[in-house]
């Protein structure tokens, strides 16, 4: 059996698969606060009971969690303070370090240091709480801490531990090396101890046989524990981004585009992860996108989000208003560019439902054009063409929207389940020699819920707008810049 633990911000999901890729059980438990004991409690409650009923079966276990979150622990792996989470910012500390040479050098290696980076937060903690820093044996990514809690008996010293490359990335990993290693220049310049960081290993590498009392309590005693990955990388793999030039779109409150590449090319809109199967994951993240759709539904129109398809389907393609998302993130990184609605026209003859539908369809079209533009940005940068696009996240539940995506992208889309647990299993399956062929793994474990082909009529309707969309967005940038100069 294969067990995958997905420790998110608001919940934990534990999935159990058989070796043929069949999902045997999937449980979820909420997380009320970011606290190690709360995580342990949630995992215990989400762990399927079937594992306890099958004590003699061979079990492989791995995990993923949030990128950049970490714990400061003592030599026994006990947390010395509350976790430092990926969403926390330390602007004051960042202002102190942003001009340092090593920060610039690391950014040119594809790893950006900003106010929420773990190294920024760690440096700030060292300055504010030097005693805590001095007592810290290990600075451990959350994924790694969970896995070693399975490995190490209570009271056993954590004398040597490893973390996977994807979780180590934001801690200053030099990913241009053939074998990635910590970029020691930044540790030297910030006077941080690189010896407090775990050693490095690829995702999927065998760590141990589970021996802790906790592993026995949850039915994982003697399981083979394997290195995990970050949740973002897990999501990409679970959406089919396994081979070079494959692309996924994660749609939620924001949008994340990921492409598997062989090389790293610096670009102001693109940041990188190491791909667990080799090469890189080039990524682009927008500002709020899907959040505007839910906001309009709930706050402006009083419409349930599951009614959107019905309202949007009644609108003639091309008759919608056009929504343009904000430009505070990729591709402009200009917080002055607010979200906009273009082509607003009033008709006293149309019903309220039709008017609402024009707004909502306009948002969907605008979001899709944004996704398409960013996909093409990556394709042009790496001189490749993706034949299909994987879709995942809470924003891919609308069939109307997904058909628009296929039509505007001009290629088929595959919609994947909104669980990332299959992602961390892919390198485990290869490294544990359960499979040798990646295509077979993809066929058995990375299964789309639905595949949609482009609608030629929709494709023709939006082809001109698709080609000039970037020009429209750029023109809005100029307008907002002029407005801000006069206020």
Distance in angstroms (rounded) separating the CA atoms of residues 13 and 9: 11
Cβ neighbours of residue 81 closer than 8 Å, sequence gap 6 or more: 71, 72, 125, 129, 132
User: Cβ–Cβ contacts within 10 Å for residue 169, how many?
Assistant: 25
> In this model, does residue 372 exceed pLDDT 70?
yes
**pLDDT at 288 (0 to 100):** 85
Q: How far apart, in whole angstroms, are the C-alpha atoms of residue 235 and residue 214?
A: 27
Q: Model confidence at 266, in pLDDT bands (50, 70, 90)?
A: confident
In this model, does residue 54 exceed pLDDT 80? Answer: no
pLDDT band, very low/low/confident/very high, at 50 (cuts 50, 70, 90): confident
Q: What DSSP character marks residue 30?
A: E
What is the spatial distance between Cα 261 and Cα 384, in angstroms, rounded to a whole number? 9
What does the pLDDT average to over 183-198?
96
pLDDT per residue over 55-113, tens digit each? 778 999 999 999 999 999 999 999 999 999 999 999 999 999 999 999 999 988 888 88
In the predicted structure, residue 47 carries a pLDDT above the cut 70:
yes
Is the model more confident about 178 or about 211? 211
* DSSP states along 450-462: EEEPPPHHHHHHH
Contact 150, 214 (CB under 8 A): yes
Cβ neighbours around 390 below 10 Å, total: 26
Q: Given this model, what pLDDT does residue 134 score? A: 97
Token pair 């698709």 is found at 466
> To 5 degrees, how large is the angle CA 203–CA 166–CA 108?
140
Mean pLDDT, the chain, whole residue set: 94
Joined together, the tokens standing for residue 398 give 């609308």
Ramachandran quadrant class, 84 (left: phi over 0; alpha: psi -120 to 50; beta: rest): beta
Q: What is the mean pLDDT of residues 409-434?
A: 96
Strand order from edge to edge, sheet including 450-452: 271-274, 280-288, 254-261, 247-251, 388-392, 412-415, 450-452
Contact of 139 with 68, CB cutoff 8 Å: no
Residue 361: pLDDT above 80? yes
**Size (the chain), residues:** 487
42 Cβ contact partners less than 8 Å away, ≥ 6 residues apart: 7, 11, 12, 29, 30, 31
Domains of the chain: 2-232 (3.30.420.40), 241-415+455-487 (3.30.420.40)
User: For every residue of 260-315, which 3-state class applies, written as one string?
Assistant: EECCCCCECCEEEEECCCCCEEEEEEEEECHHHHHHHHHHHHCCCHHHHHHHHHCC
At 132 the pLDDT is 98
Is the pLDDT reported for residue 483 higher than 70?
A: yes
**pLDDT value of position 329:** 83
Output the pLDDT for position 260.
Answer: 97
What pLDDT sits at residue 484? Answer: 81
pLDDT digits 0-9 by tens, 116-160: 999 999 999 999 999 999 999 999 999 999 999 999 999 999 999
Is the per-residue pLDDT at 197 higher than 90?
A: yes
Mean pLDDT of 219-242: 96
Q: What percent of the chain has pLDDT over 70?
A: 100
- Please check the confidence at residue 198 and state whether its pLDDT lies above 90: yes
DSSP 84: B
179 burial type by CB count under 10 A (0-12 exposed, 13-18 middle, 19+ buried): exposed
Assess whether pLDDT exceeds 70 at residue 487.
Answer: no
> What pLDDT, on a 0 to 100 scale, did the predictor assign at position 268?
85
Segment 44-62 mean pLDDT: 89
Peptide bond before residue 280 is cis, with ω within 30 degrees of 0: no
Q: Which of 443, 414, 425, 439 is nearest to 15 (CA)?
A: 425
Find the mean pLDDT for residues 349-368. 94
C-alpha 139 chain-centroid distance: 22
* 330 — pLDDT class (breaks 50, 70, 90): confident
Distance CA 133, CA 48 (A): 37
């Amino acid at each position: 059996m294969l067990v995958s633990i997905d420790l998110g911000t608001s919940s934990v999901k534990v999935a159990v698969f058989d070796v043929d890729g069949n999902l045997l059980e999937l449980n979820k438990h909420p997380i009320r606060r970011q606290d190690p004991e709360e995580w342990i409690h949630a995992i215990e409650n989400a762990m399927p009971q079937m594992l306890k009923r099958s004590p003699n079966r061979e079990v492989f276990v791995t995990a993923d969690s949030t990128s950049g979150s970490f714990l400061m622990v003592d030599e026994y792996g006990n947390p010395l303070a509350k976790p430092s989470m990926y969403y926390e910012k330390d602007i004051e500390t960042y202002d102190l370090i942003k001009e340092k040479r090593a920060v610039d050098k690391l950014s040119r290696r594809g790893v950006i240091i900003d106010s929420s980076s773990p190294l920024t937060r760690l440096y700030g903690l060292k300055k504010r709480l030097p005693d805590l820093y001095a007592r810290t044996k290990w600075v451990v990514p959350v994924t790694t801490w969970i896995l070693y809690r399975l490995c190490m008996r209570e009271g056993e010293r954590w004398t040597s531990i490893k973390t996977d490359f994807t979780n180590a990335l934001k801690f200053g990993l030099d990913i241009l090396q053939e074998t990635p290693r910590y970029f020691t220049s930044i540790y030297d310049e910030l006077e941080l101890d690189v010896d407090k960081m775990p050693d490095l290993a690829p995702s999927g590498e065998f760590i141990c046989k589970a021996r802790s009392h906790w592993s026995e309590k949850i039915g994982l005693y003697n399981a083979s524990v394997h290195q995990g990955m970050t949740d973002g990388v897990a999501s990409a793999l679970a959406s089919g981004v396994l081979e070079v030039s494959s692309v996924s779109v994660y749609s939620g409150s924001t949008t994340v585009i990921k492409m598997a590449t062989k090389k790293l090319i610096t670009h102001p809109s693109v940041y990188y992860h190491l791909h667990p199967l080799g090469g890189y994951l080039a990524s682009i993240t927008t500002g709020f996108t899907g959040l505007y759709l839910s906001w309009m539904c709930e706050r402006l129109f009083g419409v349930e989000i599951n009614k959107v398809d019905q309202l949007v389907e009644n609108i003639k393609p091309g008759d919608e208003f056009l929504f343009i998302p904000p430009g505070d993130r990729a591709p402009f990184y200009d917080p002055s560019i607010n979200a906009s609605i273009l082509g607003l026209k009033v008709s006293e003859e149309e019903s309220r439902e039709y008017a609402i539908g024009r707004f909502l369809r306009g948002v969907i079209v605008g979001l899709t054009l944004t996704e398409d533009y960013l996909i093409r940005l990556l394709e042009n940068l790496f001189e490749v063409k993706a034949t299909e696009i994987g879709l995942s996240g809470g924003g891919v539940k609308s069939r109307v929207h997904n058909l628009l995506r296929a039509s505007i992208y001009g290629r088929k889309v595959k919609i994947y389940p909104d669980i990332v647990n299959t992602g961390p299993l892919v390198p485990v399956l290869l490294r544990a020699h359960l499979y040798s062929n990646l295509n077979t793994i993809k066929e058995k474990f990375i299964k789309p819920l639905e595949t949609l082909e482009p609608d030629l009529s929709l494709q023709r309707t939006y082809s001109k707008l698709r080609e000039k969309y970037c020009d429209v967005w750029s023109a809005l940038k100029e307008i907002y810049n002029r407005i801000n100069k006069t206020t």
